[in-house]
Amino acid sequence: MRRLKIGIIDLVSKGPTHSLWARVMHANMASIMPQIVATWCEQEGHEVKMICYTGLEDLGSELPKGVDLVFISSFSQASMLAYAISHYFRSQGTVTVLGGPHARCYPDDAVKYFDYVLGFTDKTIISDILVNCCSHKPEGVYLSAKHQPAELPGVRERWKFIEASLQKAPFFKMVPMIGSMGCPYTCSFCIDSTVTYQPLDFETTKQDLQFLLTKFKKPLVGWHDPNFGVRFEDNMRAIASAAPPGSFRFAAESSLSILTEDHLKVMQQNGFHAMLPGIESWYELGNKSKTSHMAGKEKLERISEHVNMMFRYIPYVQTNFVLGLDSDAGDEPFELTKRFVDKSPAAFPGYSLLTSFGEAAPLNLQYQRENRVIPFPFHFLNNHLAMNMKPKNYEWLDFYNKVIDLTAYTFSKKAIYRRFMATPQFTPKWLNFLRAVSSEGYGRLKFYNRIRKNLKEDRQFRSFFEGETKQLPPFYSRIVQRDLGSWWNWLPAGALEHDPNAYLHKSQSGKTERSGSLRNTGIQVVESRNS
> pLDDT tens digits, residue range 246-262?
899 999 999 999 999 99
Taken in order 88, 92, 93, 99, is the CA torsion positive or negative?
A: negative
Which residues make beta-bridge pairs with 199? 180
Task: For residue 326, count other CB atoms closer than 10 A to its CB.
Answer: 18
pLDDT at 510: 65
pLDDT at 471: 95
CB 139 within 8 A of CB 111: yes
pLDDT in tens, 113-151: 999 999 999 999 999 999 999 999 999 999 999 888 989
Eight-class DSSP state of 56: S
Q: Rounded CA gap, 339 and 328, in Å?
A: 16
pLDDT at 530: 31
The pTM score is: 0.94
72 falls within a domain: yes
pLDDT at 294: 80
Please state, in angstroms and as integers, the Cα–Cα distance from residue 473 to each residue in 395, 409, 464, 479, following that order: 19, 29, 7, 11
Contacts within 8 Å (CB) and 24+ apart, 239-242: 239/205, 239/206, 239/209, 239/270, 239/271, 240/269, 240/270, 241/206, 242/205, 242/206, 242/209, 242/210, 242/213
Statement: residue 298 has pLDDT above 50 = yes
Mean pLDDT of 292-310: 91
Residue 361's pLDDT band (boundaries 50, 70, 90)?
confident
Residue 292's pLDDT band (boundaries 50, 70, 90)?
low
pLDDT at 340: 98
CB 399 within 8 A of CB 462: no
405 falls within a domain: no
Half-sphere exposure of 382 (CA within 13 A, CB side): 15
pLDDT in tens, 190-241: 777 778 888 899 999 999 999 999 999 999 999 999 999 899 999 999 999 9
- Between 86 and 192, the more confident residue is 86
Rg (CA), the chain: 23
pLDDT at 522: 38
- Please, what's the largest Cα pairwise distance for the chain? 64
Strands 180-181 and 198-199, by their bridges, are antiparallel
412 falls within a domain: no
Mean pLDDT of 279-308: 80
318 falls within a domain: no
Residue 524's pLDDT band (boundaries 50, 70, 90)?
very low
- 314: Cβ contacts below 8 Å, ≥ 6 apart: 264, 267, 268, 272, 273, 274, 275
461 falls within a domain: no
Residue 189's pLDDT band (boundaries 50, 70, 90)?
confident
Statement: residue 314 has pLDDT above 70 = yes
Residue 290's pLDDT band (boundaries 50, 70, 90)?
low
369 falls within a domain: no
CB 324 within 8 A of CB 364: no
Task: Quote the domain boundaries for residue 118.
Answer: 5-149+512-527
Residue 285's pLDDT band (boundaries 50, 70, 90)?
low
Which residues make beta-bridge pairs with 180? 199
Q: 3-state DSSP call for residue 113?
A: coil
CB 128 within 8 A of CB 518: yes
Name which of 227, 195, 164 is nearest 34 in CA terms.
164
99 falls within a domain: yes
Mean pLDDT of 103-114: 96
**Percent of all residues in the chain with a pLDDT value above 90, rounded to a whole number:** 83
Residue 518's pLDDT band (boundaries 50, 70, 90)?
low
- 414: Cβ contacts below 8 Å, ≥ 6 apart: none
Statement: residue 406 has pLDDT above 90 = yes
Lowest mean pLDDT segment, chosen from 29-33, 46-50, 372-376, 515-519? 515-519
CATH code of the domain in which 519 resides: 3.40.50
pLDDT in tens, 465-510: 999 999 999 999 999 999 999 999 999 999 999 999 999 999 888 6
pLDDT at 111: 97
458 falls within a domain: no
* H-assigned helices in 91-223: 101-105, 107-110, 123-131, 159-166, 202-212
Number of independent structural domains in the chain? 1
Three-class SS string for 330-382? CCHHHHHHHHHHHHCCCCEEEEEECCCCCCCCCHHHHHHHCCCECCCCHHHCC
Q: What is the mean pLDDT of the chain?
A: 92
DSSP 6-30: EEEEEESSSS----HHHHHHGGG--
